[in-house]
Amino acid sequence: MGDSAQVKAKLRVGVICGGASSEHSVSCLSAASLLKAIDRELFEVTLIGITQEGKWVRLKDDPSLISLNGDELPVVPTDAPEISLTEVKAEIDLAFPVVHGTFGEDGTLQLILDKVGIVYVGSGENASRDGFDKGVSRKIYSDAGIPSTKTKILLLADWKVQQSRIVSEIKVEFELPLFVKPSRSGSSQGVAKVKNWNQLEGAINDALTHDDKVLIEEMISGREVECGVLGSKASAIGEIKILGNHEFYDFEAKYLDDATKLIVPAEIPEEVANQIRAYAIQAFNLIGAEGLARVDFFLKPDGSLVLNEINTMPGFTATSMYPRLWQASGITYQNLITELIKLAQKKVK
Q: What domains does the chain contain, in order, with CATH numbers? A: 4-122 (3.40.50.20), 132-147+221-312 (3.30.470.20), 151-218 (3.30.1490.20)
Tens digit of pLDDT for each residue in 129-147?
999 999 999 999 999 999 9
What is the pLDDT at residue 7? 46
Q: Is 167 exposed, middle or buried (0-12, 13-18, 19+ CB in 10 A)?
A: middle
Q: Please count the other Cβ atoms lying within 10 Å of the Cβ belonging to residue 330.
A: 9
What is the pLDDT at residue 349? 64
Q: State how far the Cα of 343 lies from the Cα of 349, in Å rounded to an integer.
A: 13
Q: State how far the Cα of 248 lies from the Cα of 227, in Å rounded to an integer.
A: 19
Give the CA dihedral 290, 130, 47, 321, nearest 10 degrees: -70
Q: State how far the Cα of 127 lies from the Cα of 313, in Å rounded to an integer.
A: 11
Question: Of 313, 339, 284, which Cα lies nearest the Cα of 43?
Answer: 339
What is the pLDDT at residue 56? 98
Size of the chain in residues: 349
What is the pLDDT at residue 258? 57
HSE-CB at 167 with a 13 A cutoff on CA atoms is 16
What is the pLDDT at residue 70? 84
Determine the distance from the C-alpha atom of residue 121 to the mean position of all C-alpha atoms in its chain, rounded to a whole number: 14
What is the pLDDT at residue 6? 46
Q: What are the residue ranges in the chain where pLDDT is below 50?
A: 4-7, 249, 251-253, 255-256
pTM, 2 dp? 0.92
What is the pLDDT at residue 71? 82
Q: State how far the Cα of 21 lies from the Cα of 26, in Å rounded to an integer.
A: 10
What is the pLDDT at residue 166? 97
What is the pLDDT at residue 4? 47
Q: List the strands of the sheet with 233-242, edge to edge.
A: 260-263, 233-242, 223-230, 292-299, 305-311
User: Taking a C-beta distance cutoff of 8 angstroms, is the pair 279, 308 a contact?
Assistant: no
